[in-house]
Amino acid sequence: MLRRTALAASSLLAASALLLASCSAGDSPAPTGTGEPDPDASVAIRLVLEPGNLDIRQTAGAALDQILVDNIYQGLVSRTPDQEIVPALASDFTVSDDGLTYTFTLREGVTFHDGRALTPQDVVWSLQTRKATAEWRDSARLANVATIAAEGQVITLTLTAPDSSLLWNLTGRAGIVLKEGDTVDYQTDANGTGPFVLEDWRQGDSITFARNDAYWGEAAGVGEVVFDYIPDNQAAMNAALAGEVDVVTGFDANLREQIEATGDFALVLGLSTDKGTLAFNQTEESLLADERVRQAIRQAIDHDALVEALGSGTTQFGPIPELDPGYEDLSDVAPYDPDAARELLADADAEDLELSLTIPSFYSTTIAQVLVSDLNEVGITLNVQSVDFSTWLTDVYTNKDYDLSFVLHTEARDFENWANPEYYFTYDNAEVQDLYAQSLAATDDAAAAELLAEAARIVSEDAGGDWLFTGASVVAVGANISGMPEDNVNERLNLAELAKSDG
């Protein structure tokens, strides 16, 4: 996902493949653990999709951000699961009233995992290199930054024009600080400043982090964390019940009774910005270039019934989820109405359509089943193509060779994709692009959010896509585990406060 011009799969590739969520997020309290915390404990966490490599500089994929950001790599600032921007390697920061000067005070006494000290020059080099090197993921997010300078421990960024998204971008890949001149092989190794160090990667099986005993902040509460990659939900539950894993992320809320039956686990439903997105190929030669056809598809889908069938999730109806700036309830734009859908198809002379749906194979089959059934009711035959993720990336994301596609977009504040006609959504509206540019240029957060809301309504009214649900973080947490993040675990999994009791 790249700001304004470049593409990025990281926002969508919900390869963590969380099922959705809503039973009402947060309706189960997280376990608090019993007994005394064991500082040397090992905690096994089930994840769904393993990254192909560990190079967070150049490789797309939410699977990398999920485990590496905050735990291994850090920036000047970070963000909490509820989207608050907080200091990280900077002890504090200020933004000038005109939005053109950002000042950060770098912490002293910070070291990288290889023992070398973090210096102000490392920060300057990291940000300058990222800005100047197109191969870096998210390099375009620093496009408005004119100069990056250090004086003592003070880092100053000056901008050519305001960018309301800059601080947020610095909490992600765009802001990661690396050691200048590092020779580490980022494909298979890592050297950051975070509370954990990379200990082992058994490709096709697991990734292990060990506590960083030289960490500048409060030490992690466990000795190691093992990420076990288990794509199948039933297999993950079996592993949990066999005592092989302590936490199961990406869980199916419909399996709640089974996972909680022994009392060893509790299902926790947290909030998220995961967007179950149905993309329409709107290129000129496509049957979906006609807005009436796209609107008909939206009104043919019973979103409430889909969420109920999944066992979790909330309806969304627009490109911005409730946790993000610019959210507005857009359910009035495309209410469920099969009769209206049939009329739209007839008006477009598009009755008895046959379309394909390309969907990664790790998603619940319920999604495709509901879509096939609902669209069939209005005369649309939907042929489902369940593919592996690499095929989806090639066919849909890169080549835009699809009719309809479903994927769970996990990254917060990613409306930019709807303002980028080169993105795989193929949505192109000059007014939306202008409103988005205005929102970036705003120096007031409320004004920026209002502009985003205006743009989002236009996208929904254009039937630029369909948003089937907002997912939630569905996590099965062991009774002896505390400090496990609950919200937005598909996007970021900060494990600094994780603990495991000995009882």
Q: 83-127, pLDDT tens digit by residue?
A: 899 999 999 999 999 999 999 999 999 999 999 999 999 999 999
pLDDT band (50, 70, 90) for residue 19: very low
Which of 141, 170, 145, 158 is CA-nearest to residue 100?
158
The pLDDT value recorded for residue 16 is 35
Closest residue by Cα to residue 66 from 11, 130, 110: 11
- What is the mean predicted confidence (pLDDT) over 292-309? 96
DSSP reduced 3-state for 369: helix
**405 vs 138, which has greater pLDDT?**
405
Q: In the sheet that 465-470 helps form, which strands lie side by side, from edge to edge? A: 381-387, 354-360, 404-409, 275-280, 465-470
Q: How many helices (H) and strands (E) does the chain have?
A: 12, 20
Residue with tokens 């920061």, as numbered in its chain: 93
Report the share of the chain in percent with pLDDT over 90.
Answer: 80
**pLDDT at 135 exceeding the cut of 90:** no
Q: Where are the domains of the chain?
A: 196-272+473-501, 275-470
Residue 26 predicted with pLDDT over 80: no
Question: First-to-last CA distance in the chain?
Answer: 44
As a whole number, the mean pLDDT across the chain is: 91
pLDDT digits (tens, 9 = 90+) for 409-452: 988 899 999 999 999 999 999 999 999 999 999 999 999 999 99
DSSP-assigned letter for residue 287: G
Measured distance CA(233)–CA(255) in Å, rounded? 9
185's CB contacts (< 8 A; 6+ apart) are none
Average pLDDT over residues 324-351: 96
Residue 142 confidence (pLDDT)? 94
Per-residue pLDDT band at 74 (split at 50, 70, 90):
very high
Q: Of 200, 191, 201, which Cα lies nearest the Cα of 113? A: 191
Q: Which amino acid is at 348?
A: A
Residue partners of 59: CB distance under 8 A and separation at least 6: 51, 52, 53, 137
Q: Do domains 196-272+473-501 and 275-470 have the same CATH topology?
A: no
pLDDT at 29 over 70: no
Query: 196-272+473-501: which CATH topology?
Result: D-Maltodextrin-Binding Protein; domain 2 (3.40.190)
34 has pLDDT over 60: no
> pLDDT per residue over 408-420, tens digit each?
998 889 999 999 9
Res 364: pLDDT: 84
Q: How many angstroms separate the CA atoms of 9 and 257, rounded?
A: 35
Q: What is the CATH number of domain 275-470?
A: 3.10.105.10
In the predicted model, is pLDDT for residue 28 greater than 80?
no
The model's pLDDT over 478-488, given as tens digits with 9 standing for 90+, comes to: 999 999 999 98
Helix (H, G, I), strand (E, B) or coil at 272: coil
Helix, strand or coil for residue 111?
Answer: strand
SS (H, E, C) 135-182: CCCCHHHHCCEEEEEEECCEEEEEECCCCCCHHHHHCCHHHECCCCCC
Question: What band does 30 get if pLDDT is binned at 50, 70 and 90?
Answer: low
For residues 210-236, average pLDDT? 95
Confidence of residue 147 (pLDDT cuts 50, 70, 90): very high
pLDDT for the residue numbered 1: 29
Number of residues in the chain? 503
Q: How far apart are CA 388 and CA 404, in angstroms?
A: 16
Which tokens in the block code for residue 40?
């040397």
